[in-house]
Amino acid sequence: MVRGVIIEVKEATGIMLRRTILSFFPAAVVVGQDGKVESKEPLPAPIRVSVNEVIVPVTVTDDNGRFVTDLDKEHFRVFEDGKEQKIIFFNRERNQPVVIGFLLDISNASRQHWKTFREAAIDLVMTLMPGEKKYSGYLISYGTEAELQVNTTTDSNKLKEKIEKIKPGGGAALFDALYMACTSRDLVKGEPIEPRRVIVIIGDGHDSASKRGLQEVLELAQRNLVTIYGVSTVAFGFVSDGEKQLMQLCDATGGRVEAPLNKGLYKDISGYLSTPSDEGNYAIKVGTGGYASEIAKGIFRAIANVAGEVTTQYVMRYVPETNDSPKIYRKLKIEVVGYPNLRIRHRDGYYPYNP
C-alpha cells in the first residue's frame, strides 16, 4: 500500500496565499496466487491542511524622501496584531513584475487642467510600462460611469492612443472604477503574488455617481492585495471633498498621494495670494512661461515619485501564527531595526480570506 503522496494546490485569495495540501492514501491491494485482485482496503478520507501566507509590500525612505533600497531581511520586523511574525520570503530587487491599473478622472471637475493631466497620464503609462513582458497595465476612465477603455496588456501604446482620444464630461464614478479594476479585467498569471497589483488614480478623489461605496471598494482592494497611489488634480488654492477619500484609499493600502498642482508649486515664491484665483499667483501667471515651467516641474516630480514607489518596494511574506484568530481584519506593523529615522510605508492591515 502506498501512503504519503502530497498534492499541493495554491489559490491566491486576496492578501493571503492559501495553500491546501491534500495527503491521500490509495487503497491497499490484495493479490491472490493466480494474480487476480481479490480485495481492496477502504479509501481513507483526505487530510487537508491550510497554510496561509501574508504578502506585504513595503516602501522605505529617508528624511528627505529618498528611497532606501539596500536593507536586508534581518533589518525588518513584522508584527500582526502586536505579535511578531517570522519572515519566510524576502525580495528587494528593483523592477519586479507588476500589473498597473490607470484610473483616469474624466468628469467635469477635470476640465480645467485636462490637457496637463492627460499628458501626465501618458507619461506615467510610458514610464511604468516600458515594453517588457513583466510590466502589464490597463486603463479605466470614470465620468458618470466607469469604463474599461483598455484591458490588461503589455503594450503601452494601446493605453496612450486611447488616452489621447478621451474627452472629459459628466459626473465621477471613482468607486465603481475601483470595483471594476478588482473584478472586471483580464488577470495576469501569478498575480497578486508575482506580478504585484498597483492602481494609480489620476483625479481629485471625489465621487458623485458610483453605485458602490468607499468602504466596500477599500475592503475589496485590501482583499485583492492592491496598492493604490494617487496623482491629485486639485489645483493650487482649491480644495476637493474627495481629497480625504483619495488619501484614505492610498494610506490604507500602502500607497501615497502626489499633488503636483497644489503642494509645493509656489513654495519658493513670496507674496502669493491669500485667496488664490484660477491664475494661482501673480508672480507666476497662467499663460506665461514661468507658470508652465512650474506646472511641468510639479508633474515631473509626481511621476518620478510614483514610478519610484512602484519599482523600489521590498516584498515580504510570512505565515501568521494566529490562524485561528476570530478577528476579521488584522493590523500590520513593520519596523526597521537600527534605523530610527527611516520612514516606512505599508498597508495597515489585511483580510485573511475572500468571502
Task: Spell out the per-residue pLDDT of the chain, length 355, in tens.
Answer: 334 333 343 444 444 554 433 333 344 444 455 555 455 555 444 433 344 778 899 999 998 888 999 999 999 999 999 999 999 999 998 888 999 999 999 999 888 778 888 988 999 999 999 999 999 999 999 999 999 999 999 999 999 999 999 999 999 999 999 999 999 999 999 988 889 999 999 999 999 999 999 999 999 999 898 999 999 887 644 556 788 999 999 999 999 999 887 655 444 434 444 444 444 444 444 444 555 666 667 777 888 888 888 888 899 999 887 666 666 889 999 999 999 899 999 999 988 765 5
Q: Which CATH number fits domain 98-311: 3.30.43.10, 3.40.50.410, 2.40.30.10, 3.40.50.970?
A: 3.40.50.410
All structural domains of the chain with their residue ranges? 5-93+315-350, 98-311
Phi, psi of 249 (to 5 degrees): -60, -40
pLDDT at 137: 97
Q: How many CB atoms lie within 10 A of CB 215?
A: 10
pLDDT at 55: 86
pLDDT at 27: 44
Shortest CA distance to 90 belongs to which of 62, 57, 52, 135? 57
320-340 confidence digits (pLDDT tens): 876 666 668 899 999 999 998
Q: Are 110 and 117 in contact (CB under 8 A)?
A: yes
Residues 6+ apart with CB under 8 A from 282: 271, 273
How far CA 142 is from CA of 109, 166, 227, 246, 298, in Å, comes to 12, 11, 19, 15, 24
pLDDT at 324: 62
Nearest-angstrom CA–CA distance, 264 and 294: 10
Q: Are 80 and 203 in contact (CB under 8 A)?
A: no
Shortest CA distance to 114 belongs to which of 50, 204, 15, 24? 204
Rounded mean pLDDT of the chain?
79
pTM: 0.78
pLDDT at 219: 93
Nearest-angstrom CA–CA distance, 140 and 123: 16
For the chain, helix (H) and strand (E) counts, in that order, are 6, 18
pLDDT at 45: 46
Q: Is 170 helix (H, G, I), strand (E, B) or coil?
A: coil
Beta pairing class for 29-31 and 37-40? antiparallel
pLDDT at 312: 87
